[in-house]
Structure 1
Amino acid sequence: MTQLTQAIVLGLLIGGVYALMASGLTLIFGVMNIINIAHGAFLVLIAMVTWWMWRETGIDPIVASVVTTPLMFAFGWVVYTLVISRVRNAPPSMSVLLTFGFAMVIEGVLNVTAGNKFKSAAPSYFEESFRVGGISLPKAQLFGFLAAMAVLAVLYFVLTRTWTGRAIRAATQNPSGAALVGVGASGTAALAFAIGAATTGVGGSILSVLYPFFPASHYDWISRLLGIVVLGGMGSLPGALAGATILGLAETLTATYGSLAWSTLVFYLVIMAVLLFRPHGLFGARLREDAP
């Protein structure tokens, strides 16, 4: 029983981190109908920046997110203004190709500047744990989870309790109606993209501690995050949280009672099973395809 409880706790801790990483991706899709394939590259970019800051200054990698988050917010705004806005009204395939190309550019720059080798930040508490009864809580996973939950709480508050959040949700649900009350589609889209990019500031800093990474590892991360978003429902933040929790539990339970090598396969089997019965995902809205 203790082993099962331990696996569930670790799965929830990892799932919280995955939820943060996927939240920006699903937010951008919900507002702009754009799948940002470069989202995984953003995470790896910030992981690399965090690793460099930790190596040069000794700053705690998770605390470094105080710097990396506003940095990625500004970076996201610039990327949208100079790049993404040019294909805002183009077919979705254009945004997929464009963001994939942008991910390739980030990977190439990191290969040249940092080298094609695995890196990982290891703060002093990296191998330490808290003990609660018979359950072990690794400090790195716990601190990463708490940081992720704090950011998700702030994101939820902004989206549900502020005028900015209401404007973003209005542009998501009814763009023409939002325009009638003065909510500009272009400005809202830029803000949503910047907020989505800002979540990678914290997510990438946490990633640098919990997982080894190198420039090309963004392929693995974007595939995981897209799986989470599809399972939960495209554009749904609660869906991203549910999908991330399922992935975290699938990984830890499979690793505990089977093999870690099978954990990702089990997750995608769960996605296939769910989508057979709910093609729009767990929290996605069913849309009419016959409407003009």
Structure 2
Amino acid sequence: MTELLQNLILGLLLSGVYALAAAGLTLIFGVMRVINIAHGAFLILSAYITYALWNGLGIDPLLSILITTPVVFALGWLTYRSVVSPLRNAPMASTVLLTFGLALVLEAAMGTIWGNDSTTIRPAYADQSFLVGSLFLPKSQVYGGAVAVLVLVSLWLVLTKTWLGRSIRAAAVNPSGAQLVGIKVASVGALVFALGIAAAGAGGAIVGVMYPFVPGAHYQWIARLLAIVVLGGMGSMGGAVLGALMFGVAETLTSAYVSPSWATAVPYIIVFAVLLFRPQGLLGSRLREDAVAA
């Protein structure tokens, strides 16, 4: 029973990191109908920036989120203005190809700057654990999960309690109506893309502490995040959190009680099973094809 409880807690902590990264991806799709294949590459880029700050300046990797998040936000804004905005109204396939190409460019840049060897971030607490009764909880996962939840709650407050959040929701639901009341939909699009990338950036700093990484690791992460977003429902923030919880717990329990080699497969089997009964995802809504194309 103790082992099960410990694995459930570890699964929930991992789910917080997944939810944070997936929230940015589903936010971009929900407002802009853009599937950002480069999302995982920005996450890994943030992990490398975090490594550079930790290795070069001795800044704690989790505290460096205060630096990496604004940096990645700025990169996201520039990326939208320079390469995404011209294709804003193009077919979805065009933006998929564009962001896939962007992911390849980022991978090449990371390989050129940092090399292709596996990189790890090992702060002093990386090998330490909290002892709670008979439970051993690794400090890196506890700290990482707590920071992920904190950033995710902050993002939720921005989207639900501020004028910016109201503008974003208005632009997502009715862009024409939003323009009529004075909302600059193009500017909102840039901010949404930058916010989504910033969420990936915060997640990347945490991922860098929890896992080793290489430039090509973004393929694994975008596959995982897309599965979470599809499971929860494309464009649904609550669905992304729910999908992340299911994904993280399933992955942890499979690794502990079945085999680590099955840990990446079983969550996808759950995704396939859910989509057989709810093609729109757990909290997603059905959209007419002509509505999506509009």
Which TM-score band applies after superposition, normalised by the shorter structure? over 0.9
Does 1:58 find its partner at 2:58? yes
Residue 200 of structure 2 corresponds to residue 191 of structure 1: no
Rounded to whole Å, the distance in 2 between the matches of 1:72 and 1:225 is 18
| Corresponding residue number in structure 2 for 1:156 | 156
Q: CA deviation at 1:275?
A: 0.5
After superposition, the C-alpha distances for 1:136-166 in whole angstroms (9 at most, x for unaligned) are: 2211011111111111111111111111000
Alignment-mate amino acid for residue 273 of structure 1: A
Q: Name the amino acid aligned to 2:43.
A: L
Tell me the equivalent position of 2:201: 201
Could you say which residue in structure 2 is the equivalent of 1:84? 84
Structure 1 residues 211-246: Cα deviation after superposition (integer angstroms, max 9, x where no partner): 110011100000000000000000111111111111
CA displacement at 1:201 relative to structure 2: 2.2
Give the equivalent residue in structure 2 for 1:177. Answer: 177
Whole-angstrom distance in 2 between the partners of 1:290 and 1:112: 43
Give the letter aligned to residue 218 of structure 1. Answer: H
Secondary structure in structure 2 of the residue aligned to 1:83: helix
Q: Percent identity among equivalent residues?
A: 55
For residue 254 of structure 2, what is the amino acid of its counterpart? T
Deviation at 1:132, TM superposition (A): 1.3
* Aligned twin of 1:98: 98
SS of the residue corresponding to residue 116 of structure 1 reads: coil
Give SS of 1:61's match: coil
Q: Which residue of the partner structure matches residue 237 of structure 2? A: 237
Instruction: Give the whole-Å Cα distance in 2 for the aligned partners of 1:280 and 1:286.
Output: 6
Partner residue, 2:28:
28
Partners of 2:98 and 2:167 in 1: how far apart?
26
For 1:257 and 1:250, locate their aligned partners in 2 and report how far apart those are by CA, in whole Å.
10
1:143-292 maps to which residues of 2 (within 5 A)?
A: 143-289=143-289
User: What is the rounded CA distance, in whole Å, between the counterparts of 1:177 and 1:290 in structure 2?
Assistant: 19
Name structure 2 gaps, 5 residues minimum: none
> How far did 1:289 drift?
4.5
Q: CA deviation at 1:290?
A: 7.1
CA offset digits 1:36-84 (Å, max 9, x no partner)? 1000000111111111111112111111110001111111111101110
TM-score when scaled to structure 2?
0.97
SS at match of 1:213: coil
Distance 1:174 1:284 in 2: 18
Deviations 1:226-267 (A, max 9, x none): 000000000111111111111111111001111111011100
How far, CA to CA, are the matches of 1:186 and 1:41 in structure 2? 24
Matched residue count:
292
The letter of the residue matching 1:33 is: R
* 2:108 match: 108
Q: List 4+ stretches of structure 1 deviating above 3 A.
A: 288-292
Query: What is the SS of the residue equivalent to 2:122?
Result: coil
Secondary structure of the residue that 1:35 maps to in structure 2? coil
Q: CA deviation at 1:182?
A: 1.2
1:185 & 1:59 partners in 2: Cα distance? 38
Displacement of 1:196 in angstroms is 0.6
Shift of 1:283: 0.7
* TM-align CA RMSD: 1.1
Q: C-alpha displacement at 1:200, in angstroms?
A: 2.0
Q: Hey, what does 2:19 align to over in structure 1?
A: 19
User: Within 1, Cα distance between the matches of 2:70 and 2:247?
Assistant: 28
For 1:248 and 1:200, the matched residues in 2 are separated by 17
Cα pair distance change 1:278/1:71, threshold 3 Å: same
The normalised TM-score by structure 1 is 0.98
Aligned counterpart, 1:124: 124
Alignment partners' CA distance in 2, 1:59 and 1:147: 16
Letter in 2 for 1:198: A
